[in-house]
A and B are shown apart, each in its own frame.
Chain A
């Protein structure tokens, strides 16, 4: 059924949307640039488009979660992002929240611990 296929697409996109911040933050412990993120996340099985990652990095910088610097040492200047101290706190909190939720959801959907 094409309709359900569509619905599945929409729901899975919604599921991933919230996780994107968590995943991107986790990759910014070392200085990294946008396209590097796109490539590495794609290889790790969490594909994101460049047109999502670049605006997202900028937004996170505005929110104070990331810091950025232009590396002009090479002939191709690149903007590198790294997580800020606030970002680390935020990331740890979000990660804990994700694990906790994951655990609860697993118990619920797998019917574990039921009487």
Chain B
């Protein structure tokens, strides 16, 4: 007489197997269970109790199924693939952040605000659009990067593809960590002092900002307070990024992945902030421009009122120092990211063998 419990147990073991194998294993298990029951023929228990004891002895059907599949201890990505997976994943994700961000900035600049827009301040909506686009494409690109790297490594691991991760040559051993991989306290304190002054002048006191005392009977701010107030969220974001970077630098004391991530973030935010603020033709106080013209006979916009060569659209008629600051900030930021990246990945390589 077939016992329903036995059938269910066997089904639970074999249901994910290929048909032919499932049939064979079913037969085999049926024979095993029958034999085990025969052993207990003389026990003073009901048939049902015997079946339960035998099946309990055989254990969790899922576990038995895993034993049959030969993958009892299998994982999505195991060693040695896992170590390389983590390394590659980090590099890919960092590359995605940098790539998408640079792309978004270039794209936003080349598009510029819609000409003849009816909006009161087309630059604000331009920057918000750019920010939204950047966030969205960053998110989807990070997801795609993560998914692809994971899929590829899971495939390599399960196909048993060999990795050439062994040390080929003693000379390939990494250098002992150098002084330059460490971050001094002085650098951190400098960052914090700069951030504090920056915060007071531009975030807390936008209506005063940099007072010009000598051009008029009364002092007036160098920058347009309205524009400063408009970019306040970005200024605050920059401040938060700088503080976060300083805290992480202080905690880790050297170039770790998270310090590097913070440096990337700070530089991206500061580039976006600079572009948005100083890229706004209204950023300079109109009154300053007028007084400047009166006192020197020169226009502050472009090069004495002429478009700056090599730049198109509104960029050509920005005050030249603004444009210089924008270019310098962008170049320095990219340089800082690259230099921090080099230090981070060198010091990571180095710390690798301290542990092993």
Contact = CB atoms under 8 A, between A and B. Distances in A.
Bound pair: A and B? Answer: yes
Interface of A: 33-35, 49-52, 54-56, 58-59, 70, 76-79
A51 B63 contact: yes
Contact of B31 (A55, A56, A79): A79
Interface in B1-48: 25, 27-29, 31-32, 34-36
B116 interface: no
A55 B27 contact: no
A51 B58 contact: yes
Given A35-B36, A58-B25, A51 B31 contact: no
Listed from nearest, the 10 A-B pairs whose CB atoms lie closest are: A55-B67, A55-B68, A35-B35, A51-B59, A51-B64, A51-B58, A79-B28, A59-B70, A78-B31, A35-B32
A52 B70 CA distance: 11
Contact of B27 (A49, A56, A77): A77
Contact of B58 (A50, A56, A70, A79): A50
B74 interface: no
Interface residues of B, number: 17
**B interface: dominant SS:** helix
B172 interface: no
17 contacts: A34-B28, A34-B32, A35-B32, A49-B57, A49-B59, A50-B32, A50-B36, A50-B57, A50-B58, A51-B64, A51-B67, A54-B28, A54-B32, A55-B64, A58-B25, A58-B68, A59-B70
A33 B29 CA distance: 12
Given A50-B32, A51-B58, A54-B32, A79 B27 contact: yes
A52 B31 contact: no
A41 to B, nearest CB: 15
Contacts of B70: 55, 59
Interface in B35-85: 35-36, 57-59, 63-64, 67-68, 70
Nearest to A57: B28
A35 B57 CA distance: 13
Interface string B248-263: 0000000000000000
Nearest to B21: A58
Nearest to A70: B27
A58 B135 CA distance: 53
Contacts of B58: 50-51
Contacts of B34: 76
Given A35-B32, A77-B31, 9 more contacts: A34-B32, A35-B36, A49-B57, A52-B67, A55-B68, A56-B67, A70-B27, A76-B31, A79-B28
Nearest to A62: B70
A96 B121 CA distance: 86
Nearest to A59: B70
Contacts of B63: 51
Contacts of A54: 28-29, 32, 67-68
A3 B32 CA distance: 36
Contacts of B64: 51, 55
Contacts of A55: 64, 67-68, 70
Contacts of B67: 51-52, 54-56
